[in-house]
Structure 1
Amino acid sequence: MRLRPMPRRSRTMTQQIEVIHQDGDVIDVPLNRLKRSPRNARRTPHAQADIEALAASIAVKGVLQAPVVEPETDGEGRPTGGYLVTIGEGRRLALGLLAQRKRIKKTAPVRCVVDLSHDPHEISLDENVTRAGMHPADQFEAFRRLAEDRGLSAEEIGARFGVSAQVVRQRLRLGAVNPVLMELYRAGELTLDQMMAFAVSEDHDRQAQVLDQLGAHRPPYLIRRAMTEAKVSAGDRRAVFIGAEAYGEAGGTILRDLFTEDGGGWFEDPALLDRLVADKLDGIAEAVRLKEGWKWAEPHIDFPRALGLARVYPHPVARSEEETAQIAALSEEYDALVSQWDAVEELPPEIEARFKEIDAALDAFGDGTAYDPQEIARGGVFVILGQDGVARIERGLIRPEDLPAPEPEPEVGETEVRAEGEGGEPAPEGEEPEEDCGAPLSERLVLDLTAQRTLALGDALAANATVALSAVVHALALSAFYPAYERPTCLEIKSVSADLDGHAPGIDDTRAGRSVAERHAAWAGRVPKAADDLWSFVQGLTATDLLDLLAHCASLTVNAVRAPFDRKPGAWAHADRLAEAVDLDMTGYWTPTVASYLGRVTKGRIAEAVREAVSDEAAERIGGLKKSDMASEAEALLAGTGWLPPLLRKPVPVQPAPELQPEASNLTEQAA
């Protein structure tokens, strides 16, 4: 606002109505007599946040610059007693907000300057066009001086300027950056986003070091990454598992990012964090071992592989009639309470307490499954840190040395084999063999007879599809749920599960990995404990359950990994046909990120992905960046596009061979 000449006099309201104003008069006008000028050049309404900030400033410091007004007249040119605000409409609105909140009276006097010599529209335009705002760097340092010289807190400064304490903290942090950075910002060589990236840390030496390493023209995300490269992100699974509070209580410090909505942050002591993770996992493992009685329990960040461990699962337990009745009664009461109080938003305390009592009682009965005490006595537990930062307990693991010894083979009885040369040789010519009804059959004869039976059994099985289906499911289920030493089946169907975690670490915590594990655990709880009882179980399944179990067991054998040391083009082609048959859509299972794809391919591949999913312009825009920067930018561009690399896309359906036309068919026959 331009400075106006000092007034010659100030008049009361009564005098103002009666006399003719002179240009430059300073008058006190009641707030409720100030009106918006129809000739104000500013048509766009003031932002509410700006009015709030101005109102907070006026409440503390008053109106620092007097509004410029002109007397309002009626159609005949007579004064109405009102005044049109030519310059200072924002101040008028802010004063009105204070009056609305009872901070000042509606008739509070407002010191104004009368302008009669200029066109109201022009001076209003001039006020907004020629005004130069303060450089943000000056504002940051001014806020810092208020905090340091006057000892004002962020909350106090925010109240005086109508901004939040968080905004004040951001400006204070920016005002405290390395002076070299501030001068570059003033000179226009650094952007505000770059300044915020440098200000993640208050370490001036580190800021200068990163500036020297990267220069002044690097993208903000790369600066922020360099400023925090030796720290652990607050989103890391270890940080989520421990939590900021426990980490702080142990003496760790967290570097907070004041310039993100969630506050972000980095744990500055990775060694301390790793120790806390190990101690907490160890505590959970020991608590599970003591409570449940397992022989051993071990903590691990990731599931250890290639240890040769067998695994057992819990099985349904028989409940007493009393327990069954109690569970039924509690469940019935729970359902009745839900029906009665379902429409009520806030439950009475006694009803809410009863819900909790029923929940606790039902939880005490468990889910109806349990591990065999002998398995618990020789088995153990892994406590794994999941990718989501939550400990996952893997029970029922048996070490090779703790596996029970296989039972001896049963007596063969009539089919007992004897070695050749021990009565198995044909009797010499002319001699009658000695009769010995209890003598074992020769090995050669046993082979002959059982071969005959094998072929006949196979032929009969082929004629009975239902039994054949049961036999296949039985063989696969033995391989899926029972140890290798306990798989009684005559079908030589080999079921092998690929170790996918070795190719893609953390795959068990993906959507597909969790789905497979949950389905496997559900079936493991249903199949009988003894492998010898599985045949009866399989034969007793409904057709739907039999097919579901077959599908699950078959799914465990899928291996479409393209390993350079194990080329299987036929299997890979079949995987494409299988994906086509089940209509596999990998967009629901996988997304392109720096870790999953973009950081592991060439710049050409990155550009190709962005070009396919976004546009040629986007690919060209990031093409000049370094690979790491290009990958990070591409991740943001590809988010939500559903782009997949060729290996993960839906396969192209195989077109059936065209049928021969009659004429062509005849020609073929003639040629033959």
Structure 2
Amino acid sequence: MELKKELLSIKLGDLLPSARNVRRHAPGEVQTLAALIASQGLLHPLIVTERLGGRGASRRLRFEVVAGERRRRALLLLQGEGRLPADHEVPCELVPPERALEVSVAENSGREALHPADEFEAFKAMVDQGRGIEDVAVRFGVTPLTVQRRLKLSALSPRLLALYREDGINLDQLMALALSDDHAVQEQAWFEAQPWEREPAAIRRRLTAGEVEAATSALAGFVGIEAYEAAGGVVRRDLFDDAQSRFLSDPALLERLAAEKLEAHAATIRADATEGWKWVEARLSLDHKGLRAFVPCEHRTRRPNEAESAALAELTQRDQELDAEEEALMDSGEATGDDWERIGLEQEEIEARRKAIQLGLRTWSEGQRRRAGVIVTVSRTGDLEVIRGLMRPEDRKPAADEGRPADEAVHDRRDGAGRAASASTPAGSSPERREAALPESLARRLAAHRTMALQASLLRQVPVALAVLTHAIVNRAFGDDYRRPPSVVQVTPQFSGNALKAAADDLEGSAAWQAVEAAKQAWAARVPTAPGDRLGWLIALSSEELLELLSLCIALTVNVLPGAGAAFEANGLADAVGLDMADWWEPTAASYLNHVPKVQIVQALKETGPGLTDGGVESMKKEALVACAAARLAGKRWLPVPLRKSTA
């Protein structure tokens, strides 16, 4: 059957959408199509029918688009951007109204989509013909990164691409295999793998085995990718990871470069006559266990000078402004991830600058420097960390050798900002320091819950409780006169319950509080009410009962709040009682989620397991996100960093 076609040029303004178009177009993205039309022209005419519109003198002929609505919208976009004239005419094919429906069906059926592999190879052919990546991106309305990714896929093993065309491998697996440029390695990673080893994550682990992931490596951050590459190091980049992860293939070179950079800093300190330390040592890493091999010298904290005081005040004011901005964003519910990232980065910068000033206020006597030394190392965040005032055990001497009386030990342990600093924690390594990403009030809240859990754990750990009590006494009875390290047990005694409740208003509802309170009530019913009767009653108790009561009393003095000055001993105590905070605490709205920004809630969900961020959680309002996260994190045993087990 021969059908007549009538080709017309119709002004874009005279084209209207049609109810006869079988493809129902929801408002959507047409920028890519517009870019294609701008670079290639309109390759196919629109299919239209006539329509008389208007009334009276304004009645005129218009045309409804029964096939090609997305093209019409893309042309309107170009016209709105000024890339087409106001009177632009569009090539159209006119069909009678009775044929409109069948033509629309025919236009939208029977078409086979271009296979992605064909698209990869087409992009490669255009670049091979001399077109630049940016030019191809503009012509097809995509980003340069998209072009780079398609070129990367086009360079995969032909054997794997053929398998992809046959649906024997999916696109995610191809993207993982693209981590390697070697066809033999790609084919080995696929064809010699077991079925369970062909998941994208498993493929990536196999291809990057033995390499260093830059994003999680402190040494990579310290050395810098550019310096590593300048020294001949090879970096493998994952174009298909949104973060574009980088993997360093030569760990030995990375360690050598880090060691050389550390040694250069150490040499500078050795050459500085004002430093005067007995030794300066460069170490690639230093964990808490390694640090405990040294004895920190007691330092004095001088008053900040005028410039330092002004700088600290300025940092405090800016920190408060950021806190206020953070609260306003949380209340508005309109903050973006960029907002939280900007605030978080500036808070980290403020904390780093404040810490640098505070460390500069520390001073040691000449006698201390003659017997102690300095470790130059890399922090967990990849920054240079200089820990001064460390003594090796063999270098310890009586305080008299320093030429100063024993009672001259520094008792004011407050830093330049007026906050407590740990006497037993070397510079730059304090696990009590405020995490930049957590508000100080939340840090104290979490520490209160950890303290309460330690108290509850001590109730049935009599040997540990005795060791803790003995430790506190031995520190005073047998320690150096000039050095009085703090203890988690304040045997004056000072019970910590009120301080803990002040730090965490939800503490009394916790399992740890209830366990300790139950033990207190059980003994309160037995202890004589008259103080004069208690000593005889205690003497009459069996050894087992006396030790159980002693464990309770010791537990009630435990205090590991920030500023209590016992971070190292707290970690040791937690290890001794086998403390796992997931047994005592979980992130609820009151305990955690209401106190952190949305980006940290989403991060907690991501850390907990795959799929927990599904359902558009990142776009939720804060209140809805908190409720959703509380439900999804319940029972998952996720913990924020301050509550996780010590790695020492």
Same fold (TM over 0.5): yes
Given that 2:586 and 2:635 are in contact with CA atoms closer than 8 Å, whether structure 1 keeps it comes out as no
Q: What residue number does 1:352 align with?
A: none
Task: Give the deviation of 1:553 after TM superposition.
Answer: 5.0
Output one character per residue of 1:474-522: Cα deviation in whole Å (capped at 9) or x when no partner.
Answer: 9838739x99554899xxx999xxxxxxxxxxxxxxxxxxxxxxxxxxx
Change (3 A) 1:560 1:125: farther
Is the radius of gyration larger for structure 1 or structure 2?
1
Partner residue in 1 for 2:35: 56
Structure 2: how far apart are the matches of 1:546 and 1:215? 52
Pick one of 223, 238, 258 that aligns with 2:219.
238
Normalising by structure 1, what TM-score?
A: 0.55
| CA shift for structure 1 position 336 | 11
State the AA in 1 paired with 2:239.
L
Tell me the equivalent position of 1:468.
Answer: none
In the TM superposition, what are the counterparts of 1:464-503 in structure 2 within 5 Å? Answer: 476=472, 479=475, 484-486=479-481
Letter in 2 for 1:382: I
SS at match of 2:257: helix
Task: Look up the match of 1:182.
Answer: 161
Match of 1:315 among 270, 280, 300: 300
Q: Which residue of 2 aligns with 1:267?
A: 248
**1:105 match: secondary structure:** coil
Distance 1:361 1:226, change over 3 A: closer
Residues in 1 aligned to 2:311 and 2:188: alpha-carbon distance in whole angstroms: 67
> Does 1:119 find its partner at 2:103?
no
Q: Go from structure 1 to structure 2 and tell me whether the alpha carbon gap of 1:330 and 1:311 turns closer, same or farther (over 3 Å shift).
A: closer
Answer yes or no: is the 8 Å Cα contact 1:479–1:487 preserved in 2: no
Structure 2 vs 1, CA of residues 56 and 317 (structure 1 numbering), >3 Å: closer, same or farther? closer
Identical columns (%): 30
1:28 aligned counterpart, secondary structure: strand
Question: Would the aligned equivalents of 1:30 and 1:108 in 2 still touch at CA under 8 Å?
Answer: yes
Query: What code does the residue aligned with 1:294 have?
Result: W
Residues 312 and 354, structure 2, Cα contact 8 Å, conserved in 1: no
How much has 1:380 moved relative to structure 2? 0.9
CA contact (8 A) 1:241 1:277 kept: yes
Q: In 2, distance between residues paired with 1:269 and 1:214?
A: 25
- 1:234 Cα deviation after fit: 1.6
Shift of 1:237: 2.1
Compared with structure 1, are the counterparts of its residues 91 and 295 closer, same or farther at alpha carbon in structure 2 (3 Å cutoff)? same
Residue-by-residue CA offset, 1:78-105 (whole Å, 9 max, x unaligned): 9833211111111111111111111111
Q: What amino acid is aligned across from residue 237 of structure 2 in structure 1?
A: R
Answer whether contact 2:9 2:91 (CA < 8 A) is retained. Answer: yes
Q: How many residues align?
A: 435
Structure 2 distance, partners of 1:562, 1:284, is 35
Q: How far, CA to CA, are the matches of 2:387 and 2:354 in structure 1?
A: 25
Is residue 250 of structure 2 the alignment partner of residue 254 of structure 1?
A: no
1:128 aligned residue: 108
Give the Cα–Cα distance (whole angstroms) in 2 for the partners of residues 211 and 227 of structure 1: 11
Partner of 1:305 in structure 2? 290
2:372–2:389 CA contact under 8 A, matched in 1:
yes
Consecutive unaligned residues of structure 1, counting only runs of 5 or more, are 6-21, 344-358, 409-471, 496-543, 564-570, 591-608, 615-637, 651-672
Deviation at 1:67, TM superposition (A): 0.9
**SS of match in other structure, 1:94:** helix
Equivalent position SS for 2:16: strand
Structure 2 distance, partners of 1:223, 1:361, is 44
Q: Is 1:27 matched with 2:8?
A: yes
Deviation at 1:289, TM superposition (A): 3.9
In structure 1, distance between residues paired with 2:209 and 2:193 = 14
Distance 2:98 2:137 in 1: 37
Query: CA distance change for structure 1 residues 153 and 561 in 2, over 3 Å: closer, same or farther?
Result: same
AA partner of residue 396 (structure 2): L
Q: What pairs up with 1:229-628 in 2 under 5 angstroms?
A: 229-235=209-215, 236-291=217-272, 292-303=275-286, 305=290, 308-317=293-302, 368-404=361-397, 476=472, 479=475, 484-486=479-481, 552=565, 556=569, 584-585=584-585
C-alpha distance in structure 2 between counterparts of 1:272 and 1:201, whole Å: 20
1:55–1:97 contact (8 Å) kept in structure 2: yes
Q: Distance in 2 between matches of 1:643 and 1:54?
A: 45
CA contact (8 A) 1:285 1:299 kept: yes
Cα RMSD (Å): 5.0
The counterpart of 2:73, out of the listed 88, 93, 98, is 93
Question: Displacement, 1:119?
Answer: 3.4
Is the 1:473–1:546 contact (alpha carbons within 8 Å) kept by the matching residues of 2? no
Q: Distance in 1 between matches of 2:5 and 2:82?
A: 31
Which whole-Å CA distance do the structure 1 matches of 2:570 and 2:398 have between them? 28
Report deviation, 1:206.
Answer: 1.2
Q: Look up the equivalent residue of 1:30 and give its one-letter code.
A: K
**Larger RCO (CA within 8 A; separation ≥ 6):** 2
Closer, same or farther: CA 31–188 of 1 in aligned 2, 3 Å: same
Report the Cα distance in structure 2 between the residues aligned to 1:560 and 1:364, rounded to whole angstroms: 32
Q: Distance in 2 between matches of 1:332 and 1:256?
A: 43
1:275: how far off?
1.0
When residues 89 and 483 of structure 1 are mapped into structure 2, their CA distance, relative to the original with a 3 A threshold, is: farther
User: Which residue is equivalent to 2:171?
Assistant: 192
Can you give the 5+ residue segments of structure 2 that lack an aligned partner in the other structure? Answer: 325-351, 402-467, 491-556, 593-607, 613-630, 644-648
Taking the aligned partners of 2:355 and 2:246, their CA distance within structure 1 comes to: 41
Deviations 1:546-600 (Å, cap 9, x if unpaired)? 998996559827756789xxxxxxx67xx79xx89xx95376999xxxxxxxxxx
Quote the Cα distance in structure 1 between the aligned partners of 2:240 and 2:249.
18
Q: In the aligned structure 1, how far is the partner of 2:573 from the partner of 2:111?
A: 68
Q: Counterparts of 1:392 and 1:363 in 2: how far apart (Å)?
A: 10
Q: Is the 8 A contact 2:49 2:97 kept in 1?
A: no
